[in-house]
Every structure is written in C-alpha cells, then in structure tokens.
Structure 1
Amino acid sequence: MALATEEEKSLKEELINPILVADRVIKSAQEAESFKSECAELAKQVERLSQMLRSCVRLATPTTSNQSIYERPIRHVAADVTNNLDRALTLVRKCKHSGILRHVFSISTTADFRKVFNLLESSIGDMRWLLTILDSDETNLSLPPIASNDPILAWVWAFISAIHVGDIKARIDAANELASLARDNNRNKKMIVEEGGILPLLKLLKEGTSAEAQIAAVNALFNLASDQETVRVIVSVLGIPIIVGVLGECSMKVQIVVANLVARIAELDSVAQEEFVRVNVIRPLISLLCLDIALELPKHQPVKTSIHSIVQMNKQMTVNSAHKYNHRSGSNSDGSSHSGQHKKEREVETPETKIKVQIACAEALWKLSKGSLACCRKITETKGLLCLAKIIEREKGDLQFNCLMTVMEITAVAEFNAELRRGAFKTNSPAAKAVLDQLLRVVQEESDAMLRIPAIRSIGYLAKTFPAKERRMVSPLVALLGNKDVDVATEAAIALGKFVSPDNFNRVEHSKAIIEFDGVPPLMRLLKVNDRAQMNGLVLLCHLALNAGDSKALEQARALNALEGAARSVIPQYPELRDLFNEAMCRLALYQAGARPNIQSFAP
C-alpha cells in the first residue's frame, strides 16, 4: 500500500508541476512591458492548458481502491507540456524588459512567439486527446500531436487506457484491437508490452466479466506471447497463476483459448513451464482431457490398489476443484455459483466443442511435459496415463496425435530418470500396460508416419524397462526396418539401438531377438538409403556385432565388409564413433575365419 501511495503521489506531482509553471507564465504575461498583445494571447492558451491539467488531475485520481489508472500517456503528455510551458515562461519574462534591452530582444521574440504559439497549441491538442481517453467509454483513435510521428503509439495508449477505464464493450473492443496490432508485426508487440499492456489484459481475463471479454484478453496475450522475453514479462507480473485459475473456472469456449495460451507459453520458456507445473496446471488439464471418458479397467483384470487410488484421486480432484472454486467465487445474487453455471453449460456443449477442449489440453500437456520431470511426475501420479491411452485407442486426428506426443515426451524424460521410469512404467502397472498396448497398436496398425514415429520413439525411450524375455516390443520395430517410409525405418533403427546399447542390461538378449526376427537383411538395406539412415543403421549394426558377433546372420550379410566400407566416410564426420566401429569390427573378425578388420586407414 505504501508503494502504491508513493506512485500515486508521484503522478499527481507530475501533473501539478506544469500547473504551477502555467500560473507563473500567466503572471509574467500580465506583467509584460512589450509584445503585450502577443503575451495576452499566449496567456489565453496557457489558461486553457491549466484548466485541462486540473481536469486531468481529477480524472487521474482513483475514486475507489479497485480502480486503476493508465499512467504512461499521462506522464508522457505531462512531461511534454511542462517543456513547452517552460519555453513560454522564458519568452514572456523577456518581455518585462524595456528601453535598450527591449530592442535587443525584439529581434528574436517575434519569431519565438510564433514557435511557442504552435507548441502550446500542440500541447492543447495532446491534453484534449488525453482527457478524452481518460473520460470516455469509447476508444479515441484520433492522433494527438505528441504521437504524430508514430500513430501506432497513440492507438496503443488509447486501447490500453480503454481496458483500464472503459465499459465492458469498450474493453472487449480494445483487447481485440491490441490482438490485431500484435498479430501485424513484432514492433507492435514490443510496443504494447513496453507500454504496459500485459497487466490490464490479465486483469480483464481474471475478472471473468464475460466469456467474450476473457476470449478477447487471451487472444491478445496469445499474439503477444511470441517470444521468451514477453513470456518472462507475463511470469514476472504473476500472470501464470491467473491463467491457471481461469482455466479451471471458466466456460468451455474460454478453456479452449486458455489451454492454447498455456501450450504456447510453455513451449517458449522453461521458467514459465515450471511455473505452470508449480501452480498445478496439470490438474485442470487432465480433468478436461478426461471429459466423457470412462477409465475403468477391463473386467477380466483384478482391480489393483494403484488403480483404485487413481480412481479415488479422480473423485477427490472433482470434489476439491468444486470446493476450491466455490470458496473463491462465492455465490451470485440469485444464489447460484459460477461453477454451477459452467457445469450446466458443459452438459449442453456440443461434441465438437468438447473435442476442441481436449485437443487444446492435450497440446498443453505435450508442451508442458517436454523436458520437465516435475510435469511428467504429476501426469503419471494421476489418471493421466490411463486417459492418454484411452484417447489414443479411440480417437483420431489432432487429439490422438497430441496425446501420442505427450506420451513421447513423458517417456523421453523417463529414459534418463530411473525413478520415473520404474514408478510410472513398471510392467505390472495397469496404466503403463494400457499405454504400451496402444503404442504397439499404433506401430503395427497405423500407416501415418506422423503417428507411428512418436509411438516408435516412446518404445525406444522405455527400452531399459523391458525384461529379457519381453520380445513383443522388439518384433514390431524389426518389422519396420524395411518400411518404405525411410523416416519410419530410421526411427525404428534408432529405437532398436536403445535396446542393444551398452547401458541396457538386457542388450545381449535383445540383440539375439533382433537377429532371430530376421532384422539383419533390412538393416543392411537401410545402410544404403541416406546419410541419417546410414549413420543410425551403422550404430545399430555395431551394437549387434558387439552383443552377438558370433551370429551367422551377420556373417552371411557381410556385416564386417559393410562396416569397413562405411567407416572411411562416416568416421571423419562422426569421430566419436571411431572406437565403436573398431570394437565392432574386431568382434566380427574374431568369429569369422580368416577375417582381419582393416582399421588402419581411419585409425586416429
């Protein structure tokens, strides 16, 4: 409160200062001994300015503690008016001289009066415009003289001011105009942010006056949040908790755009991403994603304690969410609550709207989970995995794709975090089994590479979790090594490489499985496709040689010759692979009579 009072006083002082200067100008003009008619005319202009400044002081003083005043244009105009009044004061003081001094100064004052008249007229125009935007529900798109060289600045000031002091229609229109300006170019975005446009938009979103107002605010924020710098501004003004709070309490149409905003912000900045997770945006996102989805287990499976906990958590989340919302918002005058109203609205929403909500929430979870251990934990600790598996099973299009990408990001984090991997994807977990079943189904049945690739990667990321006897994950990947789509075949090689890499405890058994499933011939063909396919195929071949070098399949495929031929071109580009190639060729040569690896030409 003390800080706010100090800022308010500073604004008043900035307005009172030009009023005091104006009074001195008028007094000096009345005392002029030369150019009396010019001084009288100048005094009239200054008197008009003085009255306008006093009106501005009244308008710039909030009448309630909740009212906000947009200060930036006031300060800019007040500073410019003060400078012009100072020039006027200097001029009229010269007119007090008489005799010889009068002749000395008269040479310059005639021209100076014309200049000062023009400056004061410009200040009057600035003040007229300023009073209009402070005391009007309509957005003023006229150009004040102070912004004549940059009309966008005047529009930005007018729109932001309208969001501060306008009625609801004016605020909606102003937010839409800011969204349009931000969409035009980066300069406009930077100007809106620098002129303080973020906070009033967040306030408009938080107030929840109407769905239309919230959508307008989110659209503007979405267009502004196109770089990390702007996102950090949103974080610094505590915008993340506001966004999360609105997501769980607003209508479905608003939730769609809010979830899209969450996705964009999370993608642009890791700090904002973690802040979203800290304030638990995962809870409303998962709840919305699971709309109309039954998460019961198949009847032939016994209900595990873990799944019971998940179901109970789901029920408790619903109760807590409703209680939390009712506690925050209270009841309307007619006794009904906003949460009850939104619940009724959701019951009658069209399936198309519900799908859009789910698509937006799935994308938000995808962007939030990328590289975030905290987010992945929250998703896997709730009903998130079950929900994702169910949607992947029954949905198509963007919703299915976004859920696959979310699973892919969770498994990518799990690959390097043993605790998450063992906790969320242990083999006896119903949620993990449901996800793995759907990943296998996509790999085997889908023809779209956009769907297959995230599924392939997810299985590869989880390679360390599969026991030696678990071959149902390896077989479909081997089958894809000969796929006509080179990208799919390459991703399969990369995923299989994780099964046989040195940090996989069951690498020997997995290598033998790949060879038994006749994976060597398509792998050898993959080496001839393109650079990316060749490099990843060669890595997989090297690991097969190290883990199962005595295989007849490798000898018959002339794997040693293939490695020797490829090493000359690959190792100069990827020197970190030199040791791997040398060890693989030595291992193959060990089991092939008369073979001797030719490693001299590319030895370090």
Structure 2
Amino acid sequence: MSSASTATVTSSSTVPPRVVEEKTVQEELSLPILLADRVIKSAQEAESLRQDCSDLAKQVDRLSQMLRSAVRLAVSIPSLYDRPLRRIASDITRNLDRALTLVRKCKKHSGVLRQVFSITTTADFRKVSNLLESSIGDMKWLLSVFESDGGAHLSLPPIASNDPILAWVWSSISAVQMGQVKDRVDAANQLASLARDNDRNKKMIVEEGGILPLLKLLKEGASAEAQIAAATALSNIASDRERVRLIVDALGISMIVGVLGDSQTKVQISVANLVARMAALDDYAQDEFMRLNVTRPLVSLLSSHLDLEIASNNPVKTSIPSLIEMNKKLAYKNIKANYNSDSSSHGGSHSNKEREMETPEMQLKLKVSCAEALWKLSRGSVSNSRKITETKGLLCLAKIVEREKGELQFNCLMTIMEITAVAESNADLRRAAFKTNLPAAKAVLDQLLRVIQEESDPQLQIPAIRSIGCLARTFPARETRIMGPLVSHLGNRNVEVATEAAIALGKFASPENFNCSEHSKAIIEFDGVPPLMKLLRSGDQSQLQGLVLLCYLALNAGNSKALEQARALNALEGTARSVLAQHPELKDLFAKAIHHLTLYQAGAPLNRQSLAP
C-alpha cells in the first residue's frame, strides 16, 4: 500500500496540468500526515528493536507536528508560494514510507526470519533516521520562510544542500509572492541577478514558478522600484524564444502593455526594454503586442515634446477677423489636447506633470528604449509596421533622425530600415505609407538622404542606404535627387557602405523594377561606372553585389559608352567562372549581360565563349 502511495505522489507531479487537476496543498500534505500516524502506531506495536523504533517515532512525531503547522499556514496565507512545500512533501512521503516499512519489520516474527531482521535493521534505522532528520530540517526551513512574511533567507534546507541555488530561488520567489514591498523588491532583484548569471538559473526560476509572481509584482505597481525589479528580472529570464513564450502564455503581454501606458518614466524605460527583448526573440510575442496595440503608447512616448504638425502650403489669411478665428481654434485645440492627454488610457496619471518634471537624461533614456522597442517590433512584421505608419510614427521617426544624435538617432534609423524592409515585399504597405507625395514619407526620405550625404558614420549610413534601396519601386523614373547620393557611395572607402550602395542601386536597376531602364541610365549619368569597376576588385561580397549591378546596367543600358570605356565586358567575362562556381543561380543573368554588351560594343565578336562549365 505504501509503495503505491508513493507512486501516486511521484506520478502526479509528472502529469500535465491540463490532464489531471493539481492537488491542493491540503491534499498534498494529507498523505505524509497519514503515513506519520501509521509509523508512530507501528512503532508502538514493535516487538524487536523497540528503542530504535521509539526513537524513530519521536522523529516522526516532530515531523507530523510540522506538517500540521504547514497545513494551518497554507489555509491562512491566500497567496502561498507552494512549490517548495510540494517538493519537500514529496520527499517526506518517500522517507516516511521507508520508515513505515522498517518499523513493520519489527513486529512479532519467529525463528530464523526474526534473527535475519535483527541483523539487518540496525544499520537501516540509522539510514532512515538520517533521512527523517533531513526532512525535519527541510520543514524547519520551510516554516521559517512562511512565518517571516516573505523575508529573505540565507540558510539552506537539506533538500538543497547539493544545489544551493534552488534554495535561493525558492526563497526569492516566495518573497516576491508573499513578502512586504521592500522584501519583494530585494527578492526580484535577487532573481534578476541569478537569471543574469547563466541559463541554468533562468531555467530553474521558470521551473519553480517564478514568472507569474514577477508579472503580478510588475502589474500591481506597489512601487516604482518593485516594477523596475520585476521588469528587469523578466528581461533577464526572457533570453530565448521558449522562455519568452512562457511569459506570453502567462498572459504577460496585457500586463506589460498596461504598465507601459501608465507608469513613472523610470518604470516605462524598464518595460520598454522588456518589450524590445521579447519582440526580438519571438514573432508570436510580436503579434500579441500588436494585438494589444503596444505601438500606440510607444509612439506617444517617443513623440513627446515633438511638434508633429506639418506645415501647410495653402496661403494664410491675414485679415483681422481671420486672425481672431485662428486664435480661437488654436486655444480650443490646446484645451482639447490637454484634456486628451490627461484622460488618455495610455498616458494615465503619470503622463503630464510628472513626466514634464523628469530630467532631460531620463526623458532621453525613455525615448531610446521606446525607439528600440519599435525597431524590434517592426522587424519582419507587416502588422506592427502598419500600426506604426498609421499613427504619426513615421513623422516622429523622421523628426528624431533630424534632431538627435547617438543611440536614439540610430534606433530610429533602424526602425525606419525594418519598416521599409517589410514594405519592400508588401505592396499594400508600400503604397499606403511611402508614396512620395505623402508628407510623412517625404519627411522620412529627406532625412535618409541627409544622413547619406552628411553623416560619416557607417552605422548610420548603412541603414539609411538600405532603407532607400527597399523603397526603390516607389520612386518615379527620373528621381535624380536620390540616385546621386547613392552613386557617390559606390566609391566609399568603407567597403560595407560601398557594398550597401551597390545593393540599393541594384534594386533600382533590377528588371523587377518598372523604371529599371531610366534608373540604370541615371546611375551611369551620375558617373557610377568607374567606382563600380573599382568595387569589383574588393572582397567576395562586395564583388558579387557589384557584378550583379553591372549586369543590370548592361541589360538596361548596354550601348553606354561609359560601360565600353570601363571594359565592362572584359570584367564580366574575367570574373564569370569564379563567381558562378559559388553562385550558379546567376548564370542566366551573366549570360544575358555579356550578350548585350557584345551586341553593342564595337569590335566585340558575337561568338564569345560560352559560360557553360
């Protein structure tokens, strides 16, 4: 019977919760309490080794009293963290089962069998006694945790003697779930520190049920420090897709979005960092953030203190009556804006005076974090990219790229780059957000061109160049204002920048672009061939992208004197075999380009050698 009972306890912990409902704590403790009573009764009925049985019964009686105290505490504490209790109860059940088996052997036996038991049980009593002493130590530690209102515990229970981290995790999660505010903050910071150390600690915190208490601490808003500690711990735990998904499955997204919209600035910074972390690792989390419209508070926070009004080209009336009417409208607009700001569910009680009082450094940190979150949310996501462009997000990003420097400017450029990358493969988004006559699209384009022309940092130049390349299909045939700056970077001393320029220009000159012929001629007119030929002598990737662009130019403007003077035909033929050995998919493109150049270049025989291997 006892072994069957043990099997029941151990197997129940391995059955998925959806299949078998988890036992209550009272039910979990009822079995070891029942076993303890049976051990004591069997010890009283022992015929042999009665002193050993009596000593064992005293240990079991002490353990039984502790188990009953645990039941009383479990009933009285509504938010009980029961993970260590269940684990310790399972161990105690196994130890009491062994004790029951042992004392039952000491009942009346006869003959040889009794002699055998008397020889073998003395050592067994010592072993079981040691096990029971360990169980007593575990319960003593557990009761001290429960009775201390969730304070931190540096002592170790015997069950965790070989793995001290387990005790620290249990103690910390218990404090986060049941402690006073200061204890909860300290415990959340302890979990954050443990999670930062290694993956094993992260896994242990998750397995021991740490995610829900941290989310609850974040949501409750007991103090700003508590929310920051919870958000930091969750960020450190969420270092891979699987653990991010566990936060999502715990309905954490709605809590995170709610806190982001209505918290102190320093809390919003931590929460925005958590959003960025989760969105970067899991596309499902990206979708859930989109569903709950996290881009709205992020864009709102990012655009604070920015004037996003677009100047009108219409002539302004200057008569006295019209000026009076304009002042009335402006006053009404300001009142309405203030009211909306005060009552907004995404700004809440912290969105006005408290945020205005924040230091510029703190406001900058918040914008940096929000921009990074938008960057990670938009990566590869049509839905999030569309959400950002449907607000004044694009205009906000353009203004910041224009006015700011450093990390904030970089994060906004990366956000633009990710949105344009999505738009490149999504015609609806491209048409809706990036028509060149749209004010927001024009503002973004102006800043991308400015960065390309005025900035010298490759970290800024590359995303700006890539963004324009992604939008290549949106530009009319003679958009010379874009072509010149891109062509100028074909000769950039930084090979990565030059390569990025070749890739972007390749998208303009590609046959998939309706205006490829006009764009190709513009590249040549801006004297793009000489730096392109120089790029062909660079590394593998730059050479490959340069050759692709050269092929497009040959297809679209094969009769160009610039291509003939630069010996483009010889360059293609000279590199064809080595390049095609690694990129056989380009064989048709090379063959067509060589054929076109052969047709137009004087003196070039039409029967040039084949590219066939």
TM-score of the pair, normalised by structure 1: 0.92
Q: 2:477 aligns with which of 463, 468, 475?
A: 468
Residue 278 (1) aligns with residue 291 (2): yes
Displacement of 1:279 after TM fit?
Answer: 0.9
Of 248-257 and 32-41, the range deviating more from structure 2: 32-41
Q: 1:24 aligns with which of 26, 38, 51?
A: 38
> Counterpart in 2 of 1:561?
570
Partners of 2:162 and 2:334 lie apart in 1 by 58
Deviation by residue 1:470-529 (Cα, 9 ceiling, x = unmatched): 211111111111111111111111101000101111111111111111111111111112
Residue 409 (1) aligns with residue 418 (2): yes
2:300 aligns to what SS in structure 1?
Answer: helix
> Counterpart in 2 of 1:76?
87
Displacement of 1:83 after TM fit?
Answer: 1.1
> Counterpart in 2 of 1:306?
none
Residue 112 (1) aligns with residue 127 (2): no
What amino acid is aligned across from residue 526 of structure 2 in structure 1?
F
Q: Give 1:166-565 correspondences, 5 Å limit.
A: 166-298=179-311, 300=313, 323=343, 325=345, 339-341=348-350, 343-565=352-574
Deviation by residue 1:326-359 (Cα, 9 ceiling, x = unmatched): 9xxxxxxxxxxx9335533212100000000000
Partners of 1:478 and 1:41 lie apart in 2 by 91
Deviation by residue 1:390-424 (Cα, 9 ceiling, x = unmatched): 00000000000000000011111111111111110
Displacement of 1:427 after TM fit?
Answer: 1.7
What amino acid is aligned across from residue 94 of structure 1 in structure 2?
K
CA distance 1:228–1:111, shift in 2 (3 Å): same
Residue 11 (1) aligns with residue 11 (2): no
CA distance 1:240–1:301, shift in 2 (3 Å): farther
Residue 125 (1) aligns with residue 137 (2): yes
Deviation by residue 1:438-470 (Cα, 9 ceiling, x = unmatched): 011000011111101100011111010000122
Deviation by residue 1:21-46 (Cα, 9 ceiling, x = unmatched): 11111111122222222222211111
Displacement of 1:175 after TM fit?
Answer: 0.7
Would the aligned equivalents of 1:527 and 1:538 in 2 still touch at CA under 8 Å? yes
Residue 573 (1) aligns with residue 586 (2): no
Partners of 2:301 and 2:152 lie apart in 1 by 37
What amino acid is aligned across from residue 355 of structure 1 in structure 2?
L
Partners of 2:109 and 2:540 lie apart in 1 by 92
1:505 aligns to what SS in structure 2?
Answer: coil
Displacement of 1:316 after TM fit?
Answer: 9.0
What amino acid is aligned across from residue 172 of structure 2 in structure 1?
F
Of 524-533 and 494-503, the range deviating more from structure 2: 524-533
Partners of 1:313 and 1:225 lie apart in 2 by 43
> Counterpart in 2 of 1:155?
168
> Counterpart in 2 of 1:92?
103
How many residues get paired? 579
Partners of 2:484 and 2:571 lie apart in 1 by 24
Partners of 1:500 and 1:407 lie apart in 2 by 22
TM-score of the pair, normalised by structure 2: 0.91
CA distance 1:550–1:301, shift in 2 (3 Å): farther
What amino acid is aligned across from residue 117 of structure 2 in structure 1?
F
Partners of 1:382 and 1:248 lie apart in 2 by 16
Partners of 1:123 and 1:318 lie apart in 2 by 63
Would the aligned equivalents of 1:14 and 1:78 in 2 still touch at CA under 8 Å? yes
Partners of 1:506 and 1:238 lie apart in 2 by 48
1:61 aligns to what SS in structure 2?
Answer: helix
Of 314-323 and 536-545, the range deviating more from structure 2: 314-323
Displacement of 1:325 after TM fit?
Answer: 3.7
> Counterpart in 2 of 1:331?
none
Displacement of 1:213 after TM fit?
Answer: 0.3
> Counterpart in 1 of 2:59?
45
1:431 aligns to what SS in structure 2?
Answer: helix
Displacement of 1:177 after TM fit?
Answer: 0.7
Partners of 2:458 and 2:441 lie apart in 1 by 23
> Counterpart in 2 of 1:334?
none
CA distance 1:585–1:13, shift in 2 (3 Å): same
> Counterpart in 1 of 2:74?
60
Displacement of 1:261 after TM fit?
Answer: 0.9
Of 377-386 and 22-31, the range deviating more from structure 2: 22-31
Identity %: 70
Partners of 1:316 and 1:424 lie apart in 2 by 28
Would the aligned equivalents of 1:482 and 1:489 in 2 still touch at CA under 8 Å? yes
What amino acid is aligned across from residue 72 of structure 2 in structure 1?
R
Would the aligned equivalents of 1:260 and 1:364 in 2 still touch at CA under 8 Å? yes
Partners of 1:93 and 1:342 lie apart in 2 by 71
Would the aligned equivalents of 2:306 and 2:396 in 1 still touch at CA under 8 Å? yes
CA distance 1:549–1:62, shift in 2 (3 Å): farther
Deviation by residue 1:177-220 (Cα, 9 ceiling, x = unmatched): 11111111111111111111111111110110000000110111
Partners of 2:547 and 2:486 lie apart in 1 by 16
Would the aligned equivalents of 1:314 and 1:383 in 2 still touch at CA under 8 Å? no
Partners of 1:483 and 1:113 lie apart in 2 by 82
CA distance 1:324–1:27, shift in 2 (3 Å): farther
**Can you give the 5+ residue segments of structure 1 that lack an aligned partner in the other structure?**
304-311, 327-337
